[in-house]
Amino acid sequence: MTPDQIYFKNREVAAYRLLDILPIDNMKLEDWIVLSTSCGGYPIADIIAKELNAKVDMIFSKKIFAPSNNDCEIAIVTEAEEVLIHEEIVKAFDISLDLIYEESKILYENELSSEVNKFRNGNQLANLNGKNILLIDEGLNTGLTMMACIKSAIKLGAKSVSVATPLIPTASIQTIESIADDLYYIKKLDHFISINFYYDTLNEIKFKDIETIKKD
């Protein structure tokens, strides 16, 4: 790795660089809910939410992998029971849609529901009906999780859905712009490696870390 391949020292720096490109003054004229789409994105979402005087939360999701390859992401299921399928991969490997939906049901019932209950002390995601939603992550890889979260917010009645992320693969921009009201990013990358490749420090964020952030 060479120095010029690192774009952000840490999540805090990434958050403040996002604030530089977000139309904060205009956004403050309306009410927003800021949602992280991953644990790693939560510290960034928290900083931006405080600047907007907005509520911060997280929308939970789980990845579904190909039966014979635990590194091959083929679908996402969210806590709103939205299932987004990577159609090209599914067709290429002739993966049954029934298998995907069955796996999504199992993940939702056995993992997602319990994580959501633990995170919010038994409460569900805040009412998004008629709200402006800003989805945040520390970076996008395939963009599949973000797309699933956008569709979940729309399904839950959001008035508008915008996306902000420090890093995005160029290939994902058009897809996200096709359904999000606004997309904000700092770096677009034609040859995306991995999110942590572009950060100097990117420690793993766990639930206990988020609990600490919530108390600040």
Rounded to an integer, the average pLDDT of 71-98 is: 93
62 has pLDDT over 50: yes
Indicate the burial class of 17 (C-beta count within 10 angstroms; 0-12, 13-18, 19 or more). middle
* Average confidence score pLDDT of the chain: 93
For 157-205, the pLDDT digits (tens) are 999 999 999 999 999 999 999 999 999 999 999 999 999 999 999 999 9
Are the C-beta atoms of residues 77 and 61 closer than 8 Å to each other?
yes
CA–CA gap between residue 107 and residue 117 (Å, rounded): 14
pLDDT of amino acid 124 = 82
pLDDT of amino acid 2 = 45
CA–CA gap between residue 188 and residue 140 (Å, rounded): 10
pLDDT of amino acid 105 = 96
58 has pLDDT over 50: yes
CA–CA gap between residue 84 and residue 4 (Å, rounded): 35
Q: What percent of the chain has pLDDT over 70?
A: 98
49 has pLDDT over 70: yes
Q: Which amino acid is at 147?
A: M
For 121-149, the pLDDT digits (tens) are 888 888 899 999 999 999 999 899 999 99
Are the C-beta atoms of residues 107 and 80 closer than 8 Å to each other?
no
3 has pLDDT over 50: no
Torsions phi, psi of 93, nearest 5?
-100, 10
pLDDT of amino acid 45 = 98
Pinpoint the alpha helices (H) of the chain. Answer: 11-21, 24-27, 42-52, 87-92, 97-107, 113-119, 144-155, 170-177, 207-215
Q: How far is CA 20 from CA 25, 51, 163, in A?
A: 11, 11, 15
* 3-59+127-215 under CATH 3.40.50.2020, yes or no: yes
pLDDT of amino acid 214 = 80
For 21-31, the pLDDT digits (tens) are 999 999 999 99
CA–CA gap between residue 189 and residue 170 (Å, rounded): 5
pLDDT of amino acid 1 = 42
212 has pLDDT over 60: yes
The domain spans of the chain are: 3-59+127-215, 62-119
For 161, half-sphere exposure in the C-beta direction (CA atoms, 13 angstrom radius) is 24
Q: How far is CA 183 from CA 8, 38, 104, 146, in A?
A: 19, 17, 28, 11
Task: List the one residue out of 44, 23, 27, 26 whose CA is nearest residue 35.
Answer: 44
For 30-44, the pLDDT digits (tens) are 999 999 999 999 999
103 has pLDDT over 80: yes
